[in-house]
Amino acid sequence: MKITFDIECTPAEARAFFGLPDLTPVHDIYLEKFKSAITDGVTPADWEKMTKAWMPGIADGFDQWQKLFTSAITKSSQG
């Protein structure tokens, strides 16, 4: 026996039904900051902050790779 249900509801209604929080205010703040970054421009300092927040450890990894390559180049040029 197979029983199926078709439920028509909006995503907001589904979130409310399952007891999930309404993140609309957070979403609005995020979009506002994103819009201001596009209209005002993004500085290199902003890029650094974003990459450190979104991908922790990546910037340190790039520094380590740079040091590794620099040491390899200096060793190969010395002999």
The per-residue pLDDT for range 11-59, each reduced to its tens digit, is 889 999 999 998 889 999 989 988 887 787 767 777 777 777 776 666 6
pLDDT score at 35: 87
H helix intervals, 1-79: 11-18, 24-40, 44-54, 58-78
CA dihedral 56, 60, 64, 67 (to 10 degrees): 150
Q: How confident is the model at residue 2 (pLDDT cuts 50, 70, 90)?
A: very high
pLDDT score at 60: 65
Q: Flag whether pLDDT at 62 surpasses 80.
A: no
The answer to whether the pTM exceeds 0.75 is: no
Q: What's the CA gap between 48 and 56, in Å, rounded?
A: 11
Distances (CA, A) of 22 to 27, 30, 66: 10, 14, 44
